[in-house]
């Protein structure tokens, strides 16, 4: 087991390296952090830490830098979550309060998060899975052509065009609309299928085919749209990544363009609490020198989606985690109000 002091040395190394971006040696370490031991002692500790795989040297006679494993230990045991200052919190609130609709909320959140952390921000649109139905609308566009509009409690609107097998009358449509809404409004998406199952039976045989089509489309929408959309921002911050640009930044940009990758990334994170994935812990190869800090957010106690940031493994974890958590909370509040 690592002694208390060695952990302290590791913490000091991580903090220094994150600050300076340069390998850190035993001398500066004793100077900057009052470790109360000599450089020689620290060197011994560093040798031990290196044996255990927590730090590494880029080349002989250079200082040490933390490994993924070192960051992991730092995040798990050595670092807390740094709360934001109250001006920062006020700024968040003010900035988010100005949002006019869901798109705007997500857009603002992305920008905010990118700005606060100076990293790439990723925000998932609230998922439909855990949402409830606020309203279902059916519009007759033509005799045998309908539009289905689904409105969720998170303010999301989905629409689908439906080609009916047979024309449907206005009164039947109104009837269907009314029955549909009385059954599903306020209900969870997952409940909807069983709630509408027997609806066609209430109608004339002539209309049943059409009504089944409508219901099928509705259910499809619920399922399909569970594949999330997301928004990213702050990619310009990637330029602060390192000195060896093209090689580092390219795969990251590519990964960010693949929504599938990002969704998988967020999906792998825990549903509650904050998740930090460091370097190679991310499956995706292009992201092997980045860390992802993510957290769920939601209007109630349950998370309806996730948000987070992607940055270099060498990042300010406490600060980033603080910002991510704070933003998630405020977004949750905003969603709950609307």
Residues that bind its own copies (CB under 8 A): 101, 134-135, 137, 139, 141, 147, 149, 151, 157, 159-160, 233-236, 238-239, 245-246, 249-250, 253-254, 256-257
The reply to whether 26 sits near DNA by the rule CB under 7 A is yes
DSSP 38: -
CB of 151 to its own copies, least distance (A): 7
For DNA, the closer of residues 61 and 171 by Cβ is 61
For its own copies, the closer of residues 41 and 235 by Cβ is 235
Dig out the tokens for 262 from the structure.
Answer: 């990002």
For its own copies, the closer of residues 56 and 151 by Cβ is 151
Of 333, 300, 294, nearest in space to 121 by CA? 294
Angle at 330 between CA 324 and CA 333, to 5 degrees: 140
- Residues contacting residue 170 through CB under 8 Å, at least 6 positions apart: 140
For its own copies, the closer of residues 252 and 274 by Cβ is 252
Termini Cα distance of the chain:
51
CB of 172 to its own copies, least distance (A): 16
Piece of the chain touching DNA by CB under 7 A; list 46-54, 160-168, 174-182, 220-228: 46-54
The reply to whether 47 sits near DNA by the rule CB under 7 A is yes
For its own copies, the closer of residues 4 and 244 by Cβ is 244
Contact partner, 308, from DNA, its own copies, none, Cβ < 5-8 Å per class: none
Secondary structure string (H, E, C) spanning 94-152: HHHHCCCCHHHHHHHHHHHHHHHHCCEEEEECCCCCCCEEEEEEEEEEECCEEEEEEEE
What SS3 state is found at 184?
helix
Contact partner, 151, from its own copies, DNA, none, Cβ < 5-8 Å per class: its own copies
For its own copies, the closer of residues 94 and 239 by Cβ is 239
CB of 251 to its own copies, least distance (A): 8
Contact partner, 246, from DNA, its own copies, none, Cβ < 5-8 Å per class: its own copies
H or E stretch including 157?
strand 157-163
Q: In angstroms, how far apart are the furthest CA atoms of the chain?
A: 90
For its own copies, the closer of residues 208 and 284 by Cβ is 284
Question: Segment 123-162, which members bind DNA (CB under 7 A)?
Answer: none
H or E stretch including 253?
helix 245-257
Contact partner, 86, from DNA, its own copies, none, Cβ < 5-8 Å per class: none
Which of 2, 37, 147, 209 binds DNA (CB under 7 A)? It is 37
Of 220, 128, 133, 139, nearest in space to 183 by CA? 133
Contact partner, 134, from DNA, its own copies, none, Cβ < 5-8 Å per class: its own copies
The reply to whether 171 sits near DNA by the rule CB under 7 A is no
For DNA, the closer of residues 58 and 193 by Cβ is 58
Contact partner, 39, from its own copies, DNA, none, Cβ < 5-8 Å per class: DNA
What SS3 state is found at 161?
strand
Contact partner, 321, from DNA, its own copies, none, Cβ < 5-8 Å per class: none
DSSP 310: E
User: Is residue 113 a contact partner of residue 331, using CB atoms and an 8 Å limit?
Assistant: no
Other Cβ atoms within 10 Å of 231 Cβ, number = 16
Tally of CA atoms within 13 A in the half-sphere of 273 that contains its CB: 3
Q: Under the rule (CB under 7 A), what is the footprint of DNA?
A: 5, 23-28, 36-41, 43-44, 46-47, 50, 57, 59-64
């Amino acid at each position: 087991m690592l002694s208390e002091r060695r952990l302290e040395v590791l913490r000091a190394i991580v903090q220094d390296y994150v600050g300076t971006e340069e390998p850190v040696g035993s001398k500066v370490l004793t100077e900057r952090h009052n470790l109360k031991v000599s450089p020689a002692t620290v060197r011994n500790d560093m040798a031990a830490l290196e044996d255990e795989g927590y730090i590494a040297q880029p080349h002989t006679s250079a200082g040490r830098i933390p490994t993924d494993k070192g960051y992991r230990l730092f995040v798990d045991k050595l670092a807390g979550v740094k709360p934001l200052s109250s001006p920062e919190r006020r700024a968040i609130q003010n900035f988010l309060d100005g949002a006019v609709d869901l798109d705007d909320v997500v857009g603002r959140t992305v920008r905010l998060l990118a700005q606060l952390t100076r990293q790439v921000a990723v925000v998932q649109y609230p998922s439909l899975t855990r949402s409830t139905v606020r309203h279902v609308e059916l519009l007759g566009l033509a005799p045998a052509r309908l539009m289905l509009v689904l409105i969720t409690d998170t303010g999301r609107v989905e629409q689908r065009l439906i080609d009916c097998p047979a024309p449907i009358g206005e009164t039947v449509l109104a009837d269907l609309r009314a029955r549909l809404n009385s059954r599903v409004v306020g209900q969870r998406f997952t409940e909807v299928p069983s709630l509408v199952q027997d609806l066609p039976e209430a109608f004339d045989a002539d209309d049943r085919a059409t009504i089944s089509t409508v219901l099928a489309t509705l259910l499809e929408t619920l399922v399909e749209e569970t594949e999330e959309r997301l928004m990213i921002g702050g990619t310009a911050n990637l330029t602060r990544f390192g000195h060896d640009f093209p090689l580092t930044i390219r795969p990251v940009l590519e990964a960010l363009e693949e929504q599938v990758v990002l969704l998988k990334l967020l999906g792998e994170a825990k549903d509650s609490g904050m998740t930090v994935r460091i370097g190679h812990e991310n499956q995706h190869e292009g992201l092997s020198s980045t860390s992802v800090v993510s957290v769920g957010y939601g209007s109630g106690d349950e998370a309806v989606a996730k948000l987070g940031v992607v940055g270099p493994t060498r990042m300010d974890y406490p600060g980033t985690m603080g910002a991510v958590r704070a933003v998630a909370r405020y977004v949750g509040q905003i969603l709950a109000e609307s």
